[in-house]
Amino acid sequence: MRAGAAGRRGMSSAATETSQEHAVLRQAAEWFAILHAGDASAAEHEAWQRWLDAAPEHQLAWQKIEAVNRQFGMLPAEPALAALKTPNTRRSAAKKILLLATTVALGAAVSRRDSREYMAALAAGERTAVGEMRQLALADGSDLWMNTDSALDIDFAAGLRRVALHRGEILLHSGHDPVRPARPLVVDLLGGRLTALGTRFSVFRTGAAARLAVFEGAVRIELDSGQAQVAAAGTQMHFGADWIGAAEAADEQQSAWTRKRLSVERMRLGDFVATLARFRRGHLSCNPAVADLLLTGSYPLDDLDRILSALEKSLPVRVHRVMPWWVTLEPAGIAPAGHAT
């Protein structure tokens, strides 16, 4: 049960950063924008360097900003090179920060590329980009929907109909297999197997945990560790490679993404924003000060700016766009950080 609770926490999309962490990230984003405005003064470069050197937390936040920038390539790859206009002492410090940030980024990339699961997702036969949703008609008459940033392989053999989910989320509505005897329809992930028992269900995989939600029929969870459980219609279960959590009530609204909608009822704003971030490239986060606000509604996933505008109108929040790829939701009364010191 303890592992199941940990898995549910891992699957939760709630914002986990503290108010202090959010504030430092916000300052780093502001400084990044200032240095790339094209008219940053020598005094601003000096102020940025003082801020950067003031605390290790500032340097870590700056590394994250640079990593996101490198990932999406929307701005020059080495923002701190603007500091080359400053005296040699600051130039040396900036180079060290850049070297550290690059090393961290490359280390993470190598770590991911060493992962068998990462490589499988990279080479998957079916993939969706961030923000893309797609429906597939399978050879047996089943319908499969892929959510944003998902990767899978389909392997229909003589005795088995198999979907291997490497990343992301799917909804599967099983069809009647024309082959006799009917072949089992399974989804493999996380060292386990889900077997459809005439059903419609969704699976959301992230990291070392997954969430199974069954809307019709039933699904059997079988782990390589030997644990097994059947999830009935109207229930959901979180599970990992060696644990299965308790059954909970499933919400049909969880499948609204197949219609390009995000439907929620009394959902925390922090959870909502973290879910929305899956459909958008770049950084989207929520200030912990407003993360516990609740919202209910149905939102169009093909127009994320419209969703953000609706949040501003319905909640005491303000959408803060530091850069096109770095957006945060702040309390309505908080002004831009400006020249943080």
Check: CB of residue 337 under 8 Å from CB of residue 323.
no
- Calculate the alpha carbon distances from 163 to 137, 155, 186 in Å: 13, 6, 6
Of 95-109, 145-159, 259-273, 283-297, the least confident: 95-109
What is the average pLDDT value for the chain, to the nearest integer? 80
Q: Which residue has the higher pLDDT, 6 or 331?
A: 331
Backbone angles phi and psi of 176, in degrees to 5: -90, 115
Q: Mind giving me the DSSP string for 81-134?
A: GGGGGS-HHHHHHHHHHHHHHHHHHHHHHHHHHT-HHHHHHHT-SEE--TT--E
Whole-prediction pTM: 0.70
Query: E strands along 191-240, which residues?
Result: 192-196, 200-206, 209-216, 218-223, 228-232, 235-240
Banded model confidence at residue 43, pLDDT cuts 50, 70, 90 = confident
Report pLDDT for 170. Answer: 98
Q: What is the pLDDT of residues 176-209, one digit of tens each?
A: 889 989 899 999 999 899 999 989 999 999 888 9
Confidence at residue 335, expressed as pLDDT on a 0 to 100 scale: 57
Q: 157 versus 64: which is more confidently predicted?
A: 157
| pLDDT at residue 45, as a whole number | 79
Looking at per-residue confidence, does 69 or 257 come out higher? Answer: 257
Instruction: Kindly tell me if the per-residue pLDDT of 81 is higher than 50.
Output: no
pLDDT digits (tens, 9 = 90+) for 93-124: 444 434 444 444 444 444 444 456 777 777 88
Query: Residue 72's pLDDT is what?
Result: 55
Q: How far apart are CA 210 and CA 124, in angstroms?
A: 19
Q: How confident is the model at residue 86 (pLDDT cuts 50, 70, 90)?
A: very low
pLDDT of residue 54 exceeding 70, the answer is: yes
Q: Range with the lowest mean pLDDT among 36-40, 128-132, 138-142?
A: 36-40
C-beta separation of 286 from 269 below 8 A: yes
Contacts of 83 (CB under 8 A, 6+ apart): 35, 45, 48, 49, 90, 91, 93, 94
pLDDT at 341: 34
Q: What is the pLDDT of residue 79?
A: 40
Residue 144, token pair as written in the block: 């499969």
Characterize the bridge pairing of strands 126-127 and 143-146: unpaired
Flag the least confident range among 20-24, 130-134, 175-179, 337-341. 337-341
- Bond into 336 cis (ω within 30): no
- Confidence class for position 276, pLDDT limits 50, 70, 90: very high
Full set of structural domains in the chain with CATH: 2-113 (no CATH), 134-254 (2.60.120.1440), 255-331 (3.55.50.30)
For range 239-249, the mean pLDDT? 95
